[in-house]
A and B are shown apart, each in its own frame.
Chain A
Amino acid sequence: MLQLGKGETNVEETLVVQDLEKTFRVNRGFSPFSRKAFWVRAVDHVSFKIGSNEILGLAGESGCGKTTTGRTVLKLFEPTGGKIFFEGHDITDLGPNDMKKYRPHMQMVFQDPYRSLNPRKNVMSLLSLPIETHGLAKNRSEKLEMIMHALDEVRLHPPERYVYKYPHELSGGERQRIALARVLVLRPKLIVADEPVSMLDALVRIGVLDLLLDLKKKTGFACLFVTHDLALARYTCDRIAIMYLGKIVEIGSKDAVISQPAHPYTKALISAVPVPNPSARKVQLEVKGDVPSPLNVPSGCPFHTRCPYADDRCRGEEQQLIKTDEDHYVACYKYNLI
């Protein structure tokens, strides 16, 4: 078992994920008689830890399994292998009823605020639902107070102006704040945020991000921040994990991963990020080809088909995460040769 360090701070981990696996069955072909079943391993032996009050960024291209990982740790998908520990409790095999007592503590913020809020419910009923489901308020006035407080927390001032509005009356940024408020009324200990700002405009985005960071400071929660934007991950997260075809290929503190990337894939990702500064020069690492189909993951290191440094060992042998530094792990045996 890999021991993934988490820096010098020795706080108890909110979430520990060990060798997590999630496979999906897909059917190919139209005819029910000639259908063939394929298995897609969306998450392949993924392990990480998130400390309380820590934000772990999970970054990678579309289809790398980052969203599936996020949903599986919340048990919105049943894992097909591995273990998930939430505050030390093994929740891997709990059924929906047993999960209920953990649900208020582990919540999710979705990508698209235009689709994650029910258009037929106003802000009041949107925010009432989690409170009622988990029986957090003793009476109506207490519930109202919680709702007002939540709106105030996400800086929708004055709250009275917002409670009776419907999602279509709100802007994208306001909607995502409502989505945050809906999660925060529960005072969760873990939030999985799936690309929470990718649908928002630049200026609105920073507002929502800063709000998330502020609230984390104030109320304290662990966060798995799923994103495809490395520059954003660098701004938001404490640690970053890079995923490729269902596997974590590099994980470590954000400074280590972004400033001293060790895996060729991380290097390629970083060199492809456009920089908002025309005079900046960065290292260039070009990779060939496209991401292989997850139906047919290459043997050995999944990146070998595109990696400029690949050799026979990479093609034949699966790479394990190697510790390169304090809190920096990479799944490439050649990391110090390249």
Chain B
Amino acid sequence: MPLMEINQLNTSYFTSDGTVNAVEGVSLSLEKGHALGIAGESGCGKTTVALSSMKLLPSNAKITSGNILFNGEDLVKKTENEMNRIRWKKIALVFQGAMNALNPVFKVGDQIVEAIQTHDRKITRADAVKKTRELLELVGVDPARAEDFPHEFSGGMKQRAVIAMALSCDPDVLIADEPTTALDVITQGRILTLVRELQAKLGLSLIVITHDLSLTAEICSEIAIMYAGKVVEFGKTTDIYNEPMHPYTNALLSAFPSILGPIREMKTLPGFPPDLRNPPQGCRLMPRCPYAEARCEKEPQLGEITPSHFAACYNWEKVKQTWKKLS
């Protein structure tokens, strides 16, 4: 049984301009010890999926249907009090822009101690401090630096501190929302190595939310590609990269230059993602898709095409062939 399973999740934002269905019918599963990547452009709903699964949505957003099973329990039905016992202890989140997630007027160590004490009322301060030092050591920061303020930390160290904070209650699942945006390439490389090491050492299960497909290639075992609130393709990392079956995956992959191999011509899709207040009928990619045809007016469902490789496209075979020819 998967550790975490999202079934037919619908999440909407209720704004003064109308209802935005940011996530529609998303189903995903995360096995224990695996790393699931959720990738897509801004506004595709990937962060909303993460916030939904921790029930941390802003006040104007609501999960309208679907369920999120964690260890067999449905999180959607949980009350706020029950969620408080799950957040951080079972599922922890490394926020986007972690660099700014630290409070500038408190020492880094104290902020981690606070996180530990909030979730474990019985722990003594001395034990919490000891644990903080262990956590900092675990993420590769000198424990003596716990006495420093955030501005004395470099970007990479702040990111490490925020990861340490997320690990402070030994969670089973770590959700990382754009964990390396705004970091320099060498620092990013090191954070990725750290995440891989932690995953192996602690047996963590990861959900990585990113717009960068080269990042998911480095750390994820499965990838879900999202477009306009829906998952359009889901499968093992190697399958997604070697045999993409959805035109949008294809386009995203062609949009990332590689530092290795021949320089491929990069292609993009015409137009822009649809306005989710008023999404197009049928397949949401249809207005931009080079493979679009009449039957796409009826929306294709995410179907299992080969074992554990799902795509929501009628023309998956053509897409696969085109990619093969290119690479």
Instruction: Name the residue among A209, A235, A279, A282 with the largest chain B CB count within 10 angstroms.
Output: A235
Contact check, A62 vs B184: say whether CB atoms are below 8 A apart: yes
Instruction: Indicate whether A275 sits within 8 Å of B258 (C-beta atoms), given known contacts A210-B266, A230-B185, A235-B263.
Output: yes
B252 within 8 A of A: yes
Q: A260 near B: Cβ within 8 Å? A: no
In contact, A276 and B267 (Cβ under 8 angstroms): no
Is A228's CB under 8 angstroms from B185's CB?
Answer: yes
A277 touches B258 (CB 8 A): yes
A242 to chain B, nearest CB (A): 11
Contact (Cβ within 8 A) A231 B259: yes
Query: Which residues A137-156 have CB closer than 8 A to chain B?
Result: none
A204-B268, A275-B218, A276-B241 known; A230-B259 Cβ under 8 A: yes
In-complex Cβ contact of A276 among B41, B192, B258 (8 A) = B258
- Nearest chain A CB to B72's CB is how many angstroms away? 31
- Complex-state Cα separation, A258 to B259, whole angstroms: 7
Residues A206 and B266 in contact in the complex (CB < 8 Å), given A201-B41, A269-B185: yes
**Residue from A269, A273, A278 with most neighbouring chain B CB atoms (10 Å):** A278
Say whether B237 contacts A278, CB under 8 Å: yes
Q: Which residues of the other chain, B, contact A229 by a CB distance below 8 angstroms?
A: 185
> A171 to B211, alpha carbons, bound, how many Å?
17
How far is it, in angstroms, between the C-alpha of A204 and the C-alpha of B288 when the chains are bound?
Answer: 13
Report the bound CA distance from A314 to B73 in whole Å. 60
Contact: B192 with A203, CB < 8 Å? no
A287 to B193, CA, bound (A): 13
A1 at the interface (CB under 8 A from B): no
A206: B residues at CB distance < 8 A: 254-255, 266-268
Please state if B252 and A202 are interface contacts (CB–CB under 8 Å): yes
Q: Residues of A contacting B214 with CB < 8 Å?
A: 231, 273-276
Residues of B within 8 A of A273 (CB): 185, 189, 214, 259
Report B211-231 CB contacts with A as 1/0, cut-off 8 Å: 111110110000000000000
- Asked if B260 and A272 make an inter-chain contact with CB atoms under 8 angstroms apart, the answer reads no
Docked pose: A61 CA to B155 CA in angstroms = 12
Contact assessment for A232 and B184 in the assembled complex, using a CB-CB cutoff below 8 Å? no
Q: Are B259 and A275 in contact (CB under 8 A)?
A: yes
CB distance from B289 to the nearest CB of A (A): 13
**CB-based contact A203/B251 at 8 Å:** yes
Write the chain B residue with the least CB distance to A287: B186
Pick from A210, A268, A272, A277: contact of B217, CB below 8 A. A277
Question: What separation, in Å, do the CA atoms of A275 and B214 have in the docked complex?
Answer: 5
User: Is there an interface contact between A290 and B156, defined as CB atoms closer than 8 Å?
Assistant: yes
Interface residues of B (CB under 8 A from A): 41-42, 154, 156-157, 184-190, 192, 211-215, 217-218, 237-238, 241-242, 251-261, 263, 266-269, 272
15 contacts between A and B (CB under 8 A): A61-B186, A201-B41, A203-B268, A204-B268, A229-B185, A230-B185, A269-B185, A273-B259, A274-B215, A276-B217, A277-B217, A277-B260, A277-B261, A278-B218, A280-B258
